[in-house]
Amino acid sequence: MPELARALEPRIISAAEAIREATVAAMERDERVFVMGEGATDPKGIFGTTSGLRERFGAHRVLEMPIAENGWTGMAIGAALCGQRPILIHQRVEFSLLAMEQLVNNAAKIHYVSGGRHRAPLVIRLIVGRGWGQGPAHSQSLEALFAHVPGLKVVMPSSAADAKGLLLAAVADDSPVVFIEHRWMHYASGHVDPEPRAVALDGPKRVREGDRATVVATSYMTLEALQAAEALAAAGCAVDLFDLRVLRPLDVGAITASVRKTGRLITVDTGHATYGIGAEVCARVTSAAFEDLRAAPVRIGLPEHPTPSARSLAEGYYPRSPQIAVAVGRAAGVSATVLEEVCAGLARERDAMPLDIPHPSFKGPF
Amino acid sequence: MPELARALEPRIISAAEAIREATVAAMERDERVFVMGEGATDPKGIFGTTSGLRERFGAHRVLEMPIAENGWTGMAIGAALCGQRPILIHQRVEFSLLAMEQLVNNAAKIHYVSGGRHRAPLVIRLIVGRGWGQGPAHSQSLEALFAHVPGLKVVMPSSAADAKGLLLAAVADDSPVVFIEHRWMHYASGHVDPEPRAVALDGPKRVREGDRATVVATSYMTLEALQAAEALAAAGCAVDLFDLRVLRPLDVGAITASVRKTGRLITVDTGHATYGIGAEVCARVTSAAFEDLRAAPVRIGLPEHPTPSARSLAEGYYPRSPQIAVAVGRAAGVSATVLEEVCAGLARERDAMPLDIPHPSFKGPF
Amino acid sequence: MTQTTMRPTLTSVLTPHARIDLFRQMLRIRRIEEEIARRYAEQQMRCPVHLSVGQEAAAVGACCVLRATDQIVSTHRCHGHYLAKGGSLNAMIAELHGRVTGCCSGRGGSMHLFDAAAGVLASVPIVGGNVPLAVGAALAAKQRRTNDVAVAFFGDGALEEGVVHESANLAATHGLPMVFFLENNRYSVYTPLDQRQPARPIVAFADAHGMPARSVDGNDVLSVREAMIHAVARARRGDGPSLVVAETYRFLEHCGPADDDALGYRPAGELARWQARCPITSFEAYLRELGELEDAIIEAFKTTIAAEIKLAFADALAAPVPAPETAQEGVYA
Amino acid sequence: MTQTTMRPTLTSVLTPHARIDLFRQMLRIRRIEEEIARRYAEQQMRCPVHLSVGQEAAAVGACCVLRATDQIVSTHRCHGHYLAKGGSLNAMIAELHGRVTGCCSGRGGSMHLFDAAAGVLASVPIVGGNVPLAVGAALAAKQRRTNDVAVAFFGDGALEEGVVHESANLAATHGLPMVFFLENNRYSVYTPLDQRQPARPIVAFADAHGMPARSVDGNDVLSVREAMIHAVARARRGDGPSLVVAETYRFLEHCGPADDDALGYRPAGELARWQARCPITSFEAYLRELGELEDAIIEAFKTTIAAEIKLAFADALAAPVPAPETAQEGVYA
Ligand SMILES: Cc1ncc(C[n+]2csc(CCOP(=O)(O)OP(=O)(O)O)c2C)c(N)n1
Ligand SMILES: Cc1ncc(C[n+]2csc(CCOP(=O)(O)OP(=O)(O)O)c2C)c(N)n1
Ligand SMILES: [Mg+2]
Ligand SMILES: [Mg+2]
Q: Where in chain D are the domains?
A: 2-252+263-317
pLDDT of A355:
66
Contact state of B84 with C174 under an 8 Å Cβ cutoff? no
Residues in chain D closer than 8 A to B305 (CB atoms) = 327-328, 331
Shared domain for B210 and B335, answered yes or no, is: yes
Homologous superfamily of D2-252+263-317: Thiamin diphosphate (ThDP)-binding fold, Pyr/PP domains (3.40.50.970)
- D105 contact A CB<8A: yes
Backbone angles phi, psi at A242, to 5 degrees: -110, 140
Task: Report the residue of A41, A67, A311 to disrupt the C interface, i.e. the one with the largest count of C CBs within 10 Å.
Answer: A67
Please give the distance, rounded to the nearest whole angstrom, from the Cα atom of residue A41 to the centre of ligand 1.
15
Is the per-residue pLDDT at A364 higher than 70? Answer: no
Any residues with CB less than 8 A from the CB of A301 and at least 6 apart, and which? A267, A268, A269, A270, A271, A272, A273, A274, A276, A277, A278, A319
Tell me what the mean pLDDT of segment B149-174 comes to: 98
D79 lines ligand 2 (CB under 6 A): no
Shared domain for B12 and B158, answered yes or no, is: yes
Shared domain for B209 and B300, answered yes or no, is: yes
Residues in chain B closer than 8 A to C131 (CB atoms) = 74
Percentage of residues of chain C with pLDDT beyond 70: 96
pLDDT of C59:
98
Pocket around ligand 1: residues whose beta carbon is below 6 Å from it? Answer: A 38, 67, 69, 95, 98; C 76-77, 125-127, 155-158, 185, 187-189, 254
For the question of whether the overall pTM of this predicted structure is more than 0.95, the answer is yes
Is the per-residue pLDDT at D293 higher than 70? Answer: yes
Backbone angles phi, psi at A347, to 5 degrees: -65, -35
Mean of per-residue pLDDT scores for chain C: 96
146-185 in D: which are within 8 Å (CB) of C?
160-166, 169, 172-173
Shared domain for A241 and A338, answered yes or no, is: yes
- D127 contact B CB<8A: yes
Q: Is the residue at A220 inside a domain? A: yes
pLDDT band at D6 (very low <50, low <70, confident <90, very high): very low
**Which residue has the CA at smallest separation from atom 21 of ligand 1?**
C155
Is the per-residue pLDDT at D113 higher than 60? Answer: yes
Mean of per-residue pLDDT scores for chain D: 96
pLDDT of A358:
67
Residue type, D295: D
Q: Of B69, B94, B224, B280, which is the active-site residue?
A: B69
Q: Give one word for C294, left, alpha or beta, with left for phi > 0 and alpha for psi -120 to 50.
A: beta
* Model confidence pLDDT, tens digit, residues C87-126: 999 999 999 999 999 999 999 999 999 999 999 999 999 9
* Model confidence pLDDT, tens digit, residues D130-152: 999 999 999 999 999 999 999 99
What's the DSSP call for residue D151? E
Please give the Cα distance from A227 to A223 (Å, whole number): 6
Q: Residue D151's closest chain A neighbor by CA?
A: A78
Is the per-residue pLDDT at C276 higher than 90? Answer: yes
Contact state of A68 with D139 under an 8 Å Cβ cutoff? no
Task: Report the residue of B82, B84, B111, B250 to disrupt the C interface, i.e. the one with the largest count of C CBs within 10 Å.
Answer: B82
CB-closest option in D98, D124, D163 to B312: D98
Shared domain for A209 and A174, answered yes or no, is: no
Please provide the DSSP assignment of D56-96 as one string: HHHHHHHHTT--TTSEEEE-SS-HHHHHHTT--HHHHHHHH
Index of the ligand 1 atom closest to the CA of residue A98: 1
Please give the distance, rounded to the nearest whole angstrom, from the Cα atom of residue D202 to the centre of ligand 4.
13
D132 lines ligand 2 (CB under 6 A): no
D50 close to D123: Cβ distance less than 8 angstroms: no
pLDDT of B352:
80
D157 lines ligand 2 (CB under 6 A): yes
Closest chain D C-alpha to A152 CA, distance in angstroms? 8
Tell me what the mean pLDDT of segment A173-191 comes to: 95
Mean of per-residue pLDDT scores for chain A: 94
Please give the Cα distance from B23 to B171 (Å, whole number): 9
Percentage of residues of chain D with pLDDT beyond 90: 96
Q: Are strands A298-302 and A265-272 parallel, antiparallel or unpaired?
A: parallel
Is the per-residue pLDDT at A315 higher than 90? Answer: no
Shared domain for B20 and B167, answered yes or no, is: yes
Is the per-residue pLDDT at D13 higher than 70? Answer: yes
- D155 contact B CB<8A: no
Please provide the DSSP assignment of C18-34 as one string: HHHHHHHHHHHHHHHHH
Contact partners for chain B, using 3 or more CB pairs closer than 8 A, are A, C, D
Please give the distance, rounded to the nearest whole angstrom, from the Cα atom of residue C207 to the centre of ligand 4.
21
- Look at residues B137, B162, B191 and tell me which one is the last residue of a structural domain: B191
pLDDT of D8:
44
Contact state of D112 with B42 under an 8 Å Cβ cutoff? no
Tell me what the mean pLDDT of segment C306-321 comes to: 98
Q: Is the residue at B359 inside a domain? A: no
Please give the Cα distance from D12 to D19 (Å, whole number): 11
pLDDT band at D260 (very low <50, low <70, confident <90, very high): very high
What's the DSSP call for residue B308? P
* Model confidence pLDDT, tens digit, residues B277-295: 999 999 999 999 999 999 9
Contact state of D331 with A112 under an 8 Å Cβ cutoff? yes
Please give the distance, rounded to the nearest whole angstrom, from the Cα atom of residue D56 to the centre of ligand 3.
44
pLDDT band at D20 (very low <50, low <70, confident <90, very high): very high
- C126 contact D CB<8A: no
What CATH number should be reported for the domain holding residue A126? 3.40.50.970
Residues in chain D closer than 8 A to A66 (CB atoms) = 166, 169-170, 173
Shared domain for B180 and B320, answered yes or no, is: no
- D129 contact A CB<8A: yes
Q: Is the residue at A363 inside a domain? A: no
**Catalytic residue list of A:** 69, 138
What CATH number should be reported for the domain holding residue A277? 3.40.50.920
Q: Is the residue at A156 inside a domain? A: yes
Q: Residue B304's closest chain D neighbor by CA?
A: D328
Shared domain for A218 and A279, answered yes or no, is: yes
Contact state of B283 with A287 under an 8 Å Cβ cutoff? no
Tell me how far the alpha carbon of residue A15 is from its chain's centroid: 11
Domain count, chain B: 2
Residue type, C293: L
Q: Is the residue at A249 inside a domain? A: yes
Contact partners for chain D, using 3 or more CB pairs closer than 8 A, are A, B, C
Closest chain A C-alpha to D175 CA, distance in angstroms? 12
pLDDT of B366:
43
Closest chain C C-alpha to A138 CA, distance in angstroms? 8
Closest chain D C-alpha to B133 CA, distance in angstroms? 4
* Model confidence pLDDT, tens digit, residues D225-259: 999 999 999 999 999 999 999 999 999 999 999 99
- Look at residues A157, A191, A225 and tell me which one is the last residue of a structural domain: A191
pLDDT of B359:
57
Least confident of A245-249, A354-358, B22-26: A354-358
- D210 contact C CB<8A: yes
D51 lines ligand 2 (CB under 6 A): no
Closest chain D C-alpha to B363 CA, distance in angstroms? 9
Please give the Cα distance from A77 to C316 (Å, whole number): 49
A87 close to A122: Cβ distance less than 8 angstroms: yes
Residue type, C285: A
Shared domain for B160 and B253, answered yes or no, is: no
Contact state of A305 with B150 under an 8 Å Cβ cutoff? yes
What's the DSSP call for residue B174? S
Shared domain for B178 and B148, answered yes or no, is: yes
Shared domain for A145 and A246, answered yes or no, is: no
pLDDT band at A360 (very low <50, low <70, confident <90, very high): low
Q: Is B90 a catalytic residue?
A: no
Tell me what the mean pLDDT of segment A278-295 comes to: 97
pLDDT of B362:
52
Shared domain for B166 and B237, answered yes or no, is: no
- C13 contact D CB<8A: no
Q: Is the residue at B361 inside a domain? A: no
Indicate the top mutation candidate among C78, C188, C255, C266 to test ligand 1's pocket, ranked by most ligand atoms within 8 A of CB: C188
Contact state of D167 with A73 under an 8 Å Cβ cutoff? no
Is the per-residue pLDDT at A365 higher than 50? Answer: no
What are the CA-CA distances from residue B148 to residues A124, A218, B153, D182 (Å)? Answer: 21, 17, 10, 38
Please give the distance, rounded to the nearest whole angstrom, from the Cα atom of residue C38 to the centre of ligand 2.
53
pLDDT of B299:
98
> In terms of residue numbers, what domain contains B26?
2-191
Residues in chain B closer than 8 A to A293 (CB atoms) = 290
Q: Is B241 helix (H, G, I), strand (E, B) or coil?
A: strand
Whether ipTM exceeds 0.85: yes
Compute, in degrees rounded to 10, the torsion defined by CA atoms A338, A340, A342, A347: -170
Contact state of C49 with A365 under an 8 Å Cβ cutoff? yes
pLDDT of A362:
52
Contact partners for chain A, using 3 or more CB pairs closer than 8 A, are B, C, D
Residue type, C237: R
pLDDT band at B7 (very low <50, low <70, confident <90, very high): low
Is the per-residue pLDDT at A361 higher than 70? Answer: no
Please give the Cα distance from B321 to B191 (Å, whole number): 23
Please give the distance, rounded to the nearest whole angstrom, from the Cα atom of residue C39 to the centre of ligand 2.
53
Q: Which ligand is nearest to the CA of D48?
A: 2
Which ranges of chain D would DSSP assign to H, the alpha helix? 16-40, 56-63, 79-84, 89-96, 131-143, 162-173, 204-208, 221-237, 270-275, 279-290, 295-318
Backbone angles phi, psi at B206, to 5 degrees: -80, 120
Least confident of A89-103, B131-145, B349-363, D13-27: B349-363
Is the per-residue pLDDT at C1 higher than 50? Answer: no
Q: Are strands D178-184 and D213-217 parallel, antiparallel or unpaired?
A: unpaired
